[in-house]
Structure formats: structure tokens, C-alpha cells
């Protein structure tokens, strides 16, 4: 089995103002006390905060990411942001295909794939999200939906260096509900199989994150499964104490 360094990524979604820098500073301070954290650390704030936050994380183990990007590098796309702009603002990665983007903006697998390619073009890591809705889960279509999204959303040329996969059961995001350990284990194992068959040794090295109401009190149960290589954290990433509590699953001595 390939050795994969875990990643704990925080998705702040549409939350945070400049005053939120206080929480970021706590994470940076904790990371600075542990020069080589046992997991990679990433916070994806709103795009408006990338530039002011980039100076705060400079030289630390904490990196910044974007929450979405347009497939094109520039052009007449009012309100959008390109991967190159995110890179220029200090981002190292970008989330694409989050279920809220797929639902709120009708993003298709093809659109997500194009955004992942844009991320690579700009030198960013693409964190590609997949996951089934509650209706799809109840209809026992989880395997079918996830297979389709993995196949359609991940471009050819994906490697462990430029791509991270995040499995997020849509019905568990922000609801406080979580799948059973057996359910998470089964889906992650299925994704690993798909990656291995398509990308060979690189598929074994790619990180697969779990997302969906991850909190300090359930992190140890969810994040230590064989094919779970970290977490994409929503609400719990807004508070340093909760985010750092999740990272301690991996042995980090990080305290806010």
C-alpha cells in the first residue's frame, strides 16, 4: 500500500470577514509549534480573504485554497474567478465540484472536469468532490452515482501530486448526520478501486478525503479507516479549536 500523507482541509464556504483572521492566526500559531505536522493543513476561505490571509500563512505549514474556479483563464465572465487569479492571490489548491456547486449552479461532471484541468493549468491542486444525494442513497444508487462522478469529473492525467478526491455524501453535509463506518469504508474502497484501475500506481497514491459533518468527536472513527486519507471539513473548520481537534487524529500536537 502506498504511503499517503493525510490532508485536513477546511472549507469555509460563504463565511468569514477580515475579522475572521483571528481564527486563522490560531491555526498558524499551532502549526508553527509543530514544524512537521503529521498531516497537511489547508484552509479554503472566501476568495475575498485570500490576499489578506496569504500574508498570515506565509512560511507556515498551513496553506490556502480556493472554493471554486472558472474553466477559462480570463474573459467576459462577470462574477467568476479563474484558477490563475486564485494562484496569484496565494492559493495552492482549489475545490471543484462541491455538491453545493453541483446543486446550486447545475454543474455537470464535464464542467467539474474542465475546472480540474484549469486548476492544473494554473499550478493548483484540484480537490474534486463526489457524492450521492439522500434520494440517490435511499434508492441504493450510491455506487452508481459515485462511479459516474469519479469517471466523469476526473480528467485523464490525474496524479497524486495534482489531484485529491473528496467523498461527501450530500445528505450528511451540514446536517449532523454521518454514514456508518461500514458505509464510509465501502465507498472509499470502491473509489480506490476505480482510481487504481484507471491510473495504476498513481491511483493507489491519490488521497481520498471524507467530508460530511466531520467534527472532533467523530474524526477518530472516520479518519483512521484504510482508504480515508483526511477530511474536507465544513462548519467545524470555522473555529480553530475544532479544526485543530480534527487534525490531532493524526498525532499532531496542535493546540489553539
168 is catalytic: yes
Residues 6 or more apart in contact with residue 120 via CB below 8 angstroms: 126, 155, 157, 162
**Other C-beta atoms lying within 10 Å of the C-beta of residue 17:** 10
> In the chain, which ranges are continuous DSSP H helix?
21-32, 50-57, 83-89, 99-105, 109-121, 134-138, 142-153, 181-199, 201-205, 216-222, 240-247
Secondary structure tally for the chain: helices H, strands E = 11, 8
Q: Express each pLDDT in 168-221 by its tens digit.
A: 999 887 777 778 999 999 999 999 999 999 999 999 999 999 998 899 999 999
Instruction: Tell me the per-residue pLDDT of 3-27, one tens digit each, with 9 for 90 and over.
Output: 899 999 999 999 999 999 999 999 9
Q: Is 23 a residue of the active site?
A: no
Correct CATH for 21-69+79-250 of 3.30.2350.10, 3.20.20.80, 3.40.50.720, 3.20.20.70: 3.20.20.70
Which among 23, 84, 100, 168 is annotated as catalytic? 168
pLDDT at 174 (0 to 100): 74
pLDDT tens string 32-88: 887 788 999 999 999 999 999 999 999 999 999 999 999 999 999 999 999 999 999
The answer to whether residue 252 scores a pLDDT higher than 80 is: no
Listed residue (206, 204, 254, 253) closest to 230, CA to CA: 206
User: What pLDDT score does 171 carry?
Assistant: 86
Query: pLDDT tens for residues 152-173?
Result: 999 999 999 999 999 999 988 7
Taking the domains of the chain in order of start, what are their residue ranges?
21-69+79-250
Residue 47, number of CB atoms within 10 A of its CB: 16
> Per the residue annotation, which of 23, 70, 84, 98 is the catalytic one?
98
Amino acid at each position: 500500500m502506498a504511503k499517503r500523507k493525510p490532508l485536513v482541509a477546511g472549507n469555509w464556504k460563504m463565511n468569514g470577514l477580515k475579522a475572521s483572521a483571528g481564527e486563522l492566526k490560531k491555526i498558524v500559531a499551532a502549526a508553527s509549534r509543530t514544524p512537521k505536522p503529521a498531516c497537511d493543513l489547508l484552509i479554503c476561505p472566501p476568495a475575498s480573504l485570500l490576499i489578506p490571509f496569504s500574508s498570515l500563512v506565509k512560511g507556515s505549514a498551513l496553506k490556502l485554497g480556493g472554493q471554486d474556479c472558472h474553466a477559462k483563464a480570463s474573459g467576459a465572465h462577470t462574477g467568476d474567478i479563474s484558477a490563475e487569479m486564485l494562484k496569484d492571490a496565494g492559493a495552492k489548491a482549489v475545490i471543484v465540484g462541491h455538491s453545493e456547486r453541483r446543486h446550486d449552479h447545475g454543474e455537470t461532471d464535464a464542467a467539474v472536469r474542465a475546472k480540474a484541468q484549469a486548476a492544473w493549468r494554473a499550478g493548483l491542486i484540484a480537490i474534486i468532490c463526489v457524492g450521492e444525494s439522500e434520494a440517490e442513497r435511499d434508492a441504493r444508487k450510491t455506487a452508481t452515482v459515485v462511479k459516474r462522478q469519479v469517471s466523469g469529473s476526473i480528467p485523464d492525467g490525474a496524479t497524486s501530486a495534482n489531484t485529491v478526491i473528496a467523498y461527501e455524501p450530500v445528505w450528511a453535509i451540514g446536517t449532523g448526520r454521518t454514514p456508518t463506518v461500514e458505509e464510509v469504508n465501502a465507498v472509499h474502497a470502491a473509489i480506490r478501486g476505480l482510481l487504481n484501475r484507471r491510473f495504476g500506481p498513481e491511483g493507489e497514491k491519490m488521497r481520498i478525503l471524507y467530508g460530511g459533518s466531520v467534527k472532533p468527536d467523530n474524526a477518530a472513527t472516520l479518519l483512521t479507516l484504510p482508504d480515508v486519507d483526511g477530511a474536507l471539513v465544513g462548519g467545524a473548520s470555522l473555529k480553530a479549536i475544532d479544526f485543530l481537534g480534527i487534525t490531532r487524529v493524526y498525532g499532531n500536537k496542535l493546540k489553539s
